[in-house]
Amino acid sequence: MTAQPVNLAQALASFDDVYSPRIVARMNDYDVRIAHTKGEHVWHTHADTDEFFLVLDGRFDIALRAADGSERTVVLNQGDTFVVPRGVEHKPSSPGGSILMFEPTGTLTTGDHHGDVPAHVDSTTGHALNYDLNYDA
């Protein structure tokens, strides 16, 4: 990580992969990640952590499955935030957009328990952000 500001628009423009988050900052034991979203993710859970989402652009839907099997979908638009509580099975999807997430460092994007991972979903703990900051020091 660098001690320089990170412009989120420039950072998002530096990669095209969907559901393949880039780490833009670290705060205490948390990663601040950004990602492009499009299509279906995978049903998964995070047993030990909540998951925070902020929609930067577009729309981002989160299907939630209760313990009794019932489902509901939370629809998020630009500027909306939502926290998926730990242990809640969820499946993100999007017609296209970008998000910012706060997650403990080392959290796998496909959670602790998940189904088959589609080819367009990167099961990762995040990638380093590689782009030229272009800031005068």
**Chain segment 63-73, per-residue pLDDT in tens:** 999 999 999 99
Q: Is the per-residue pLDDT at 133 higher than 50? A: no
Instruction: Count other Cβ atoms within 10 Å, centred on residue 71.
Output: 12
CATH for 8-128 is: 2.60.120.10
Instruction: Count other Cβ atoms within 10 Å, centred on residue 103.
Output: 22
What is the structure's pLDDT at 14? Answer: 94
- Residues 74-117: pLDDT tens digits? 999 999 999 999 999 999 999 999 999 999 998 877 666 666 76
d(CA 17, CA 22): 10
Whole-model pTM: value is 0.86
d(CA 53, CA 92): 10
What letter does residue 73 receive in the DSSP assignment? E
Cα of 78 vs its chain's centroid, Å: 14
